[in-house]
Structure 1
Amino acid sequence: MARYYDSLTLFSPARYSSLPGMPFPDGDSDRYPHRDEVITYITAYAAGLDADARTRSRVTAVRTDGSGFAVDLEGGGRLAAQAVVAASGTFGRPHRPTLPGLEQFTGTVLHSADYRRPEPFAGQRVVVVGAGNSAVQIAAELAAVTRVTLASRHPVKFTPQRILGRDLHFWLKRTGLDTAPLGRLLRTPPTQLVIDDGRYRAAVEAGAPDRRELFPTIEGSKVIWADESAEEVDTILLATGYRPDLPYLAHLGTLDGTGHPLHSDGASSAHPGLAFVGLEWQRSLSSNSLRGVGRDAIRAARRLAAHLSRS
């Protein structure tokens, strides 16, 4: 999380964003923790676990080994395990869509994963591609220092952060829409909503950033808009999300052709000793966030414990 942009804050209040057994430190439970506060919290949480926590130990492959697994580490190390939880989520693999002319664009192409702060973009002409929370927030932040367009296939859809004096997540929890199985109702049809306290809708309506339909193509340093007008652009910033970051599971035959895991509610469809945690829409809309990952982790641990007891 230390690599995310400086102004990042959680969309959910501290009271809904704690992991099992450890609430966020003292403070207003209705506050929205900022990036550095979350880093400190997660670091402290990991330090309090009765576990052999190894950082900077990248897993290169997981293979079956008898009744269990062999876990290969970068540099040649290896671990043996009876069960494996793939909890690397999605945020290690930025999604860079194929857009006509993008490969030949002579300006700078970045992903939101590369963005930190607005100052380096001052005076540039910037186009942010996307219509989700990060796209809108980054575009609005950049608009304070330069001219920015938010380009997307569909209009931005806003939802208020507070409804009848309560945070949105209060209502999601009260109605059950934040958890499985009811939470799956929000996935069909796919809905991408920008959680807004009023600032972002106002910024877009004021044209800072302005919002346009996604450009049909790019020619050299120019973006060609839907009305066929051409405009010189310095930077295209792709706020286009992420995909599962699970290349180390390729040897197990548990990924489909796009790299997505084959699973049911986080349980691998191919190996009963393999589970997933932190996937987008694993069980509900909150599965890849702090407010939901704890529930899914508990469920995965119980399933694996039952599997090991039968082995």
Structure 2
Amino acid sequence: MTVPPRLADVVVIGAGQAGLAAGYYLRRAGVDFVILDAQEAPGGAWRHAWPSLRLFSPAQYSSLPGRMMPAPASGGYPSAADTVAYLTDYEQRYQLPIIRPVTAHAVRRVGERLAVETGARAWHAKVVISTTGTWWRPYVPHYPGMRDFGGEQLHTADYRGPEPFRGKRVVVVGGGNSAAQILAELSHVAQTTWVTLRPPRLLPDEVDGRALFDLATRRHRAALAGQNADGIGDLGDIVAVAPVREARDRGALKAEPMFSAITPDEVVWADGSTAACEVIVWCTGFRPALGHLAPLRLRAPGGVISTDGTRVLAEPRLHLLGYGDWTGPASATLIGAGRTARQMVGEIIAQL
């Protein structure tokens, strides 16, 4: 027996920070909407981050609209657990219509609506907002010999803490914030080697997520006006949160150039030098988790989905939120998702 589809003006796919920000403004606008979340519990990707992970800004600058994140009891910047607690409280406070666990397998065109297929049932919506983020698509580059490596390889998404690597020789790959934070922690218990494609650059100690968001916003506005503006990369690559500063000050953040190959028990550089290795941690980033949109065939040459802000040009009934600057300035951050969601929902109201 076929289960009839449910109808809603807007279906939001994902109840992480971007989905909650969208839900806040949709509810305030009185829109008929539902949020479908694949997770078993609140918190989005933050539920799966390693315990020592720290945000890049104080709590008051890491908040969603309408509800300030409480300052951590321990002081400093909020942890992953602090963020999960905040997001849990947020969705309960605003009684957002979240259904979980429900996985959106596909989005298809059905007449004047988009159908979000979830297996047992489909939702038909006038507008769909995809907020699935990137955590679910970890990226690992290919290097010769990596399949023959006899030790352990893991990605940022798999890392849970330093204890399993105590006393081991660990190579950390990547020049971003995750690599620096994980290296700082591992260097207390393991023999670490840090390798990066280019020399890593720490931001000045006084620069954190507040300044980065303001910079991303200015750059976005300048681009819209056809002007050039300094990018985040002009300042540096890594936010100097407390554990990273501590590792820097004790000399643990010395980086080597990227190796060229991997043997069963070593990494090998182009000049023939080697380093013995039992573990490789790939802190090499993520890709947008957009497989559910494949039936719409939206990717342009080069694999990108062209957007005007959050709205997909090839399918105006679809909006993307929280995937990076291409879907709004700093929209993959808590504060950036909220500010982008406000403008997006205004556009959606006009569409409806």
Alignment TM class, shorter chain as reference: 0.7 to 0.9
Deviations 1:101-126 (A, max 9, x none): 22222211100110011011011111
CA distance in 2, matches of 1:222, 1:206: 26
CA distance in 2, matches of 1:256, 1:24: 38
Distance 1:251 1:93, change over 3 A: same
CA distance in 2, matches of 1:143, 1:237: 13
Q: CA deviation at 1:192?
A: 5.7
Distance 1:191 1:277, change over 3 A: farther
* 1:1-311 equivalent positions in 2, closer than 5 A: 1-25=46-70, 31-73=76-118, 75-162=119-206, 168-172=208-212, 176-179=214-217, 181-182=220-221, 185-187=229-231, 193-197=237-241, 200=244, 203-204=247-248, 206-256=250-300, 260-282=304-326, 286-308=330-352
What TM-score does the superposition give when structure 1 sets the normalisation length? 0.88
The residue matched to 2:171 in structure 1 has which SS? strand
What is the identity percentage for the equivalent residue pairs of Structure 1 and Structure 2? 34
CA distance in 2, matches of 1:274, 1:218: 43
CA distance in 2, matches of 1:219, 1:26: 46
**Number of residue pairs aligned between Structure 1 and Structure 2:** 300
Deviations 1:180-208 (A, max 9, x none): 52476455978761011575356357442
Q: Contact conserved, 1:160 with 1:197, CA < 8 A, in 2? A: no
Please, which moves more after superposition, 209-218 or 36-45? 209-218
Q: Contact conserved, 1:157 with 1:193, CA < 8 A, in 2? A: yes
The residue matched to 1:94 in structure 2 has which SS? coil
Q: Contact conserved, 1:148 with 1:209, CA < 8 A, in 2? A: no
Distance 1:216 1:89, change over 3 A: same
CA distance in 2, matches of 1:254, 1:157: 36
CA distance in 2, matches of 1:134, 1:217: 23
Deviating beyond 6 angstroms after TM superposition, the runs of 4 or more aligned structure 1 residues are 188-191
Distance 1:5 1:258, change over 3 A: farther
Distance 1:205 1:17, change over 3 A: closer
Q: CA deviation at 1:211?
A: 1.6
Q: CA deviation at 1:266?
A: 1.3
Q: CA deviation at 1:25?
A: 3.0
Q: Contact conserved, 1:105 with 1:219, CA < 8 A, in 2? A: yes
Q: CA deviation at 1:304?
A: 1.4
Q: CA deviation at 1:305?
A: 1.4
Please, which moves more after superposition, 258-267 or 93-102? 258-267
What TM-score does the superposition give when structure 2 sets the normalisation length? 0.78
Q: CA deviation at 1:225?
A: 2.5
Distance 1:191 1:287, change over 3 A: farther
CA distance in 2, matches of 1:205, 1:172: 23
Alignment gaps of 5+ in structure 1: none
